[in-house]
Structure 1
Amino acid sequence: MPAPVIVVGAGLAGLATACRLAGAGHQVTVLEREPIPGGRGGRIRDQGFSFDTGPTVMTMPSLVADTLAAAGSELDELLPMRKLDPAYQAQYADGSRIRVRSGHAEMRAEIASTSGEHDARGFDDFVSWLGELYDVEMDNFIDRNFDSPVDLVTRPLVAARLLRLGGFGRLGPAVRRFFDDDRLQKLFSFQAMYAGLPPETALALYAVITYMDSIAGVYVPEGGMHAVPTALATAAERAGVTFRYGVDVADVLGSGGKVAGVRLSDGEVLRADAVVLTPDLPVAYRAFFPELTPPWGVRHGTYSPSAVVWHVGVRGGLPADRVHHNIHFGEQWNEAFEALIRRRELMPDPSRLVTVPSATDPSLAPEGCSTLYVLEPVPNLSGDVDWSVETDRMRERLLGFLDREGYPTDVVTEELFTPVTWRHLGMEQGTPFALAHTMRQTGPFRPGNVEPRRPGVFFAGSGTVPGVGVPMVLISGKLAAERVDAWLGKR
């Protein structure tokens, strides 16, 4: 008989874990408190508008394809998507714009026309450098389970190569080696924010996020981003995974020193030989293991800044000079990150992302209307922002910003997510971006995906290895499945 495994949470990490384990022949049950799959990547529907509440940027579709293939399904059938061109449009405080084009030659031409031939040649070298970083990091540091930091010394040649590439230097200076135009410096370093770090001082090895984002390309699935968890859930079900929605897990049970299953909030007991938990790790320890002292990184971790996300359904179409993803850079840069990350205050001159899913898929809004996703980075709840006062002010500032930038502002329906919202949804310190990717919270130094004091308990998600973002969370599910498969094989 296949060993029973329970996965708690049907977000991308839980779904990836379930697909991998089902493909390996295990009997898997996924328990999800919401009525649909998706976790942080959920969906709100109201008055004909569809809002994706989680990630809006889809990169590295090959990782989704690999996950689906592990469960016996194909990407083209379950998750058709297309590459965006441009991937982004960057708008600067001086009124200038640069588009991130799909393809090396196209982006080189864009840089030549906006910033000059010198920076276009720099882009050639930049792409080569990013490609080398990606090749080194993916197999050796990202898509890999570590048992301890000592594992790093098992591949000294790889570490030496990363050192030679300048991966342990700082991202800001590294990017400036290739570009004189400070607009390009911002465009190719802002991705460090995904890792919860200021671009100027983040380790250069996090430029691998820029590779995934701006070089490998940005995609859009048919039906919006919620189509990703929907496709993974479909593949898992086809592979034999049982899903139970609308259920809360109250306890993780043990017997004879090993995990024995879970108890639901209504008292029902489900037996299992392994349990994979996908909530943020501090949340999981408080809920399920209050008798244990969590690992140091869980207790004392540094968390990423948060974000305000305003989902807005408006009457009116997108102006001709806007695209699917629009980045509006503030004039201040280092000063804004100093306020956000060091002083934990609102950015004095914020940069913002405006995604317009209905620009690519009109089915996400009623005819003649648009679906907008407006994001501004803000401090997590360790800061001193009083959201009982600031929420209404933030909404008015964002409305004024949209109006100034020419977006439609005749609001039909809206949902404003603040750090308080994220905390209510179970995200530690009110941030959807989990632990920041500081050096002490990366690779083998990040909280692990195994709880050795409760044999048979494993973790997946952005709070554990390898980290934050759709690609990383999918890999997290793969790494957790490898742990479970090895554990069950020893029994």
Structure 2
Amino acid sequence: MRRVTGPTDHVVVVGAGLAGLSAALHLLGAGRRVTVVERASAPGGRAGRLDVTDAHGTYRLDTGPTVLTMPELLDSALAAVGETTADRLDLVRLDPAYRAEFADGSAIAVHTDAAATEHEIRETCGPGSAAGYRRLRRWLTDLYRAEMDSFIGANMDSPLSLLGPDLARLAALGGFGRLGRRIARFLPDERLQRIFSFQALYAGVAPQDALGAYGVIAYMDTIAGVWFPRGGMRELGDALAGAAADAGAEIHYDRTVTGLVRSGDRVTAVRHAAADGGDGAEIPCDAVVLTPELPAVYDLLGRTPRRPGGVRWSPSAVVVHAGMPAPRPGAATVPEHHHTISFGAAWSGTFREIVDDGRLMSDPSLLVTRPGVTDPGVQPGGRELMSVLAPCPNTEVAPGIDWDRVGPAYAEELFGVLAERGLVDPGVEPSWTRRWTPQDWAAEGMAAGTPFSASHTLAQTGPFRPRNLVRGTANAVLAGCGTTPGVGIPPVLISGRLAAERITGPGPGTRIGPGAGARTRH
């Protein structure tokens, strides 16, 4: 594994998102002095926060990811500085992980427990599908074991890094075939195919086009389980930043990095200024970890690596948050689940609409999150905080969509869809809404107006993804969802560790599988 050369005593980490904080903790654990510079006023990066207050009280919004899997990666980062997740977070395991609802009126609750999900599938889809689920579950587990430590959790210097027994094992498992076809071999019922393949969209690829290897995402939420930190997802950034500060890291908020000072091929200092453009300063460093969006990172470095065809970006999403009246006791819409996936009647065609045609889904599949089901403290009494995510085209595929005009109308349309599907009471109105569209993501600096960064096509997977070492700079390392291993909370936490290892070398206990790190209090 290639490493940063020369002195590495003091490392500046640009960005206090989950990747940057993971890197900081692993660097601190390896004895480095660490300074973190963050443009926002709080940690978390894409795992953002917003408090909305109305006449009823305050709602604690998570403006970024709402699904937490693989908490052992939090364990690993915190263990680097001698802490455990239980020291910093109160994690609740969601059971079921989510409820899937379909256009024909059927529904399946997906549990981590195999017997519980098998029972749901047998009742809804029949005994043949239940047996297929058992086989699928074994396949997903084998896939995870073949991939996690050798590919997802490892630094790769070239495609040759793939060579080894796990590559042969992954190929034999069908990891380089198409995910949709592989899932269908286990589960002929299309409803089940959707449940165990929709996760590919998190990686920016339609399920029918995704590599079979991305079934590992379905492993993470349907087998390893889904969690929620009391207080909201914002607690993740607070926990990691608090542990880093207590371990000696200096963290500067409301500071925007404006440039890098170089001497030859080395970065010798990081320039930063107040977020309002005020007083600037330089922080000397021996090495730097860069976690912003890829285009911003390459601007700082002064060069963009040559890449045939450029970077292909993932689809985006419209996200609408709303403050709703709490459902009446006994009403048909009383929420019972933290996460509900509402599938429309259409399926493969909807992905063509957003990925290829640059159009909104004509029959959308939606992720509905009601965090107050798990933690009533995120919303006022008698009220309900609800978030709706609808996949949509990014600004590169659909540059002509006027989101100032389309956004409000589409948000209203989504609530109409939810009412038709029985997920909200059609007779009630939200007291407020807040929405994010591709235009808003772009305004926050996200390339192509997508919060999901570079898509996970074959040409942007593993050693073919933008690398975390940049040719021409001897002591700069990248972390975050644009580089290896990719998008999502587990990959970005891993990317922070991988970046730290480029500076310090692998530390003890870097295994990622079950049992890694200190255990979480559940």
Report if TM-score (shorter chain) is over 0.5: yes
Quote the Cα distance in structure 2 between the aligned partners of 1:262 and 1:354. Answer: 41
1:469 to 2:488 alignment: yes
Quote the Cα distance in structure 2 between the aligned partners of 1:429 and 1:421. Answer: 11
Residue in 2 aligned with 1:215? 223
Deviates more, 1:161-170 or 1:397-406: 397-406
1:89 to 2:99 alignment: yes
The TM-score normalised by the length of structure 2 is 0.90
Match of 1:332, SS state, is coil
1:273 to 2:286 alignment: yes
Residue in 2 aligned with 1:32? 38
Q: Which residue of the other structure, out of 372, 382, 388, is the alignment partner of 2:404?
A: 388
1:130 to 2:130 alignment: no
Letter of the 2:253 partner, please give it. Y
Quote the Cα distance in structure 2 between the aligned partners of 1:248 and 1:426. Answer: 13
Quote the Cα distance in structure 1 between the aligned partners of 2:112 and 2:327. Answer: 24
Shift, 1:486, TM fit: 4.1
Letter of the 2:206 partner, please give it. P
Corresponding residue pairs, total:
482
1:102 to 2:112 alignment: yes
Change (3 A) 1:57 1:12: same
Residue in 2 aligned with 1:289? 301
Residue in 1 aligned with 2:424? 407
Letter of the 2:487 partner, please give it. V
Residue in 2 aligned with 1:453? 472
Higher relative contact order (CA 8 A, sep 6+): 2
Q: Is the 8 A contact 2:335 2:373 kept in 1?
A: no
Residue in 2 aligned with 1:253? 261
The Cα offsets for residues 252-290 of structure 1, whole Å up to 9 and x where unpaired, read as: 11124311011113331110011111011112212x134
Shift, 1:392, TM fit: 1.7
Letter of the 1:397 partner, please give it. E
Match of 1:268, SS state, is strand
User: Over aligned residue pairs, what C-alpha RMSD do you find?
Assistant: 1.6
Quote the Cα distance in structure 2 between the aligned partners of 1:222 and 1:158. Answer: 38
Quote the Cα distance in structure 1 between the aligned partners of 2:80 and 2:23. Answer: 10
Match of 2:388, SS state, is strand
Q: Which residue of the other structure, out of 13, 17, 20, is the alignment partner of 1:14?
A: 20
Q: Is the 8 A contact 2:327 2:335 kept in 1?
A: no
Match of 2:92, SS state, is strand
1:335 to 2:349 alignment: yes
Letter of the 1:390 partner, please give it. V
For structure 2, the residue ranges without an aligned partner over 5 or more in a row are 1-6, 274-278, 507-522
1:206 to 2:214 alignment: yes
Change (3 A) 1:317 1:364: farther
The TM-score normalised by the length of structure 1 is 0.95
Counterparts in 2 of 1:26-425, with a 5 A limit?
A: 26-47=32-53, 48-153=58-163, 155=164, 157-265=165-273, 266-286=279-299, 288-290=300-302, 292-296=303-307, 300-317=310-327, 319-382=333-396, 383=398, 384-404=400-420, 405-407=422-424, 409-425=428-444
Task: Using the aligned pairs only, state the percent identity.
Answer: 46
Q: Is the 8 A contact 1:170 1:200 kept in 2?
A: yes
Quote the Cα distance in structure 2 between the aligned partners of 1:169 and 1:257. Answer: 41
Letter of the 1:214 partner, please give it. T
The Cα offsets for residues 281-330 of structure 1, whole Å up to 9 and x where unpaired, read as: 112212x134x243417x70111000001111222248335410000001
Residue in 1 aligned with 2:4? none
Letter of the 1:62 partner, please give it. E
Letter of the 2:28 partner, please give it. A
Q: Is the 8 A contact 1:71 1:239 kept in 2?
A: yes
Letter of the 1:170 partner, please give it. R
Q: Is the 8 A contact 2:359 2:392 kept in 1?
A: yes
Match of 2:100, SS state, is strand
The Cα offsets for residues 203-225 of structure 1, whole Å up to 9 and x where unpaired, read as: 11100000001111111111111
